[in-house]
Amino acid sequence: MLVHIIPELLSVKTRELFLKNKASEPDREMGIIRRYEETGRHVRILTHEIKSTLDRQTILKTTLLELRRTLTLDECALWMSTRTGLELQIS
């Protein structure tokens, strides 16, 4: 009797795992969609900052901060020239 029941039980378990995986696919896809939406939001914020000012230092610093947030970087550095262009400073 076990010879017939064990393959059927394995088949049911396999089907259960398949259905669980299928059920979790929409959650993964929604996570991807949310990340794309968040990235788009960061780009819109950055675009607004660029449009509202033409100051090179502000544009570079804002770009750095938004990229850091979007890429979830814990530490990030950028060497920028000072307003006079004669020295470099780290941000």
Asked if pLDDT for residue 85 goes beyond 80, the answer is: no
pLDDT tens for 14-49 read 888 888 887 778 878 888 888 889 888 888 888 887
H or E segment to which residue 79 belongs: strand 79-81
Distance CA 79, CA 91 (A): 6
Give every CB contact of residue 53 below 8 A, 6+ residues apart in sequence: 59
Mean pLDDT, range 73-78, rounded to an integer: 74
Mean pLDDT, range 69-86, rounded to an integer: 76
Structure tokens of 14?
Answer: 């396999």
What is the model's pLDDT at position 24?
78
Say what percent of the chain tops pLDDT 90.
0
